[in-house]
Amino acid sequence: MNPTGLAWNASRPLKRFTTIVIPALALWSAAAFAEMFGSDYKPCAEKPSTMEIVDCVQARTKVWDDRLNAAYRDLLKRITPDQRQPLMQAELLWIQYRDANCKILLRWPGHDPPDPDG
């Protein structure tokens, strides 16, 4: 839990990511994988099994999640109390955007993944 009272729960999106997206990614080429996630994920695409790919992506995701949380904590130290509420509103709007974007990607033409909402 961060000082604003908003919790960054990486496990829910990560579970969705690992159970739906990772197996599909295993079927894509290494170049497409690296392009989608960035060059630091390229070693993950070169793993010989789906489980090793999942483990690698989870480890890389944790690194980026830790960086994001550190940057957020640093930002909270530098802003004034009257800036916290707009920041919290922006964070909630970003979460809504992220969730909506994931739903679009899960329903991309040619994919018939299970619906994570039901």
Pick the more confident residue, 1 or 67. 67
Q: Is 14:61 a contact under the CB 8 Å cutoff?
A: yes
Total structural domains in the chain?
1
Residue-range definition of the domain harbouring residue 18: 11-81
pLDDT tens figures, 46-92? 899 989 988 998 999 999 999 999 999 999 899 999 999 999 999 99
For residue 77, being part of any structural domain is answered with yes
Distance CA 118, CA 110 (A): 20
Lookup: tokens for 91? 């964070």
For residue 17, being part of any structural domain is answered with yes
For residue 89, being part of any structural domain is answered with no
For residue 114, being part of any structural domain is answered with no
How many CB atoms within 10 Å of residue 49?
A: 9
End-to-end CA distance of the chain: 27
For residue 61, being part of any structural domain is answered with yes
For residue 28, being part of any structural domain is answered with yes
Distance CA 80, CA 107 (A): 41
For residue 111, being part of any structural domain is answered with no
pTM of the model: 0.51
